[in-house]
Amino acid sequence: MDILYFAGVEFNDIENRLVIDLGAGTGRLSIASAFLKARYILSIDIDLDAINILKRNIDRLDLDHLIFPICADIKNLNISDFLFSQNMHITTIMNPPFGVQRKAADRKFLQTAFSFSNVVYSIHLANEGVQKFISRYSNKFNWKVDYIFPYQLILEKSYDFHKQKKKLIDVDIYRFERRTIPA
């Protein structure tokens, strides 16, 4: 949840913004964004079971007027600029797959977020090589790493390949901004 503290409190990138939660799962980041006064939240995940849990959570919390769950694969997701007003600021938050089980799984998340966002917050493994790669990768899309926050994430067993009930993982929370092109 510290990702939302950085986005919402430190940088004021949540309040009155359209927040897109890629890989939303059951909606922890989406729900926290609602409490930080996002204008609207699109919660996108490929897992229909997770989306159904998210729907129950937002109904129970009376947030169905703010959070809109979408079951979709980000590989096929296309959010066009013309859907939003020109002055709509879009903040994307995400905790993508790290690419440990499936190499480069996080790249499509970044590429998708870069296609429509004004600012992106993303969680990745803490590693100097990963930092260098992500910096180069974002550059390809005319984005830059604005800040990197070291963090320890508690990963709870949720997949068969997870060996332990809980595991502490060193991660970095990235804040990306679109590069401005000099006039």
Q: Kindly state the DSSP code that residue 53 receives in the 8-state scheme.
A: H
pLDDT at residue 75 in the model? 84
The residues facing 145 across adjacent strands are 176
> Two tokens at 107?
């790249």
Q: Which residue has the tokens 């890989």?
A: 23
Please state whether beta strands 67-71 and 40-45 pair in parallel, antiparallel, or not at all (unpaired).
parallel
180 backbone dihedrals φ, ψ, rounded to 5°: -90, 135
Give me the CATH topology for the region 2-178: Rossmann fold (3.40.50)
Instruction: Kindly give, in sequence order, each residue whose CB lies less than 8 Å from that of residue 15, ignoring residues fewer than 6 positions away.
Output: 8, 36, 37, 38
DSSP letters spanning 33-47: HHHTT-SEEEEEES-
Instruction: Kindly give, in sequence order, each residue whose CB lies less than 8 Å from that of residue 18, ignoring residues fewer than 6 positions away.
Output: 38, 39, 40, 41, 42, 84, 88, 89, 90, 91
Where in the chain are the domains?
2-178
- What is the pLDDT tens value at each position of the chain, 183 positions in all? 688 989 999 999 999 999 999 999 999 999 999 999 999 999 999 999 999 999 999 999 999 999 999 999 988 887 765 566 667 899 999 988 765 556 677 889 999 999 899 999 999 999 999 999 999 999 999 999 999 999 988 877 555 555 667 888 899 999 999 988 654
Q: What is the pTM of this model?
A: 0.89
Other beta carbons within 10 Å of 132:
10
Longest dimension (CA), the chain: 53
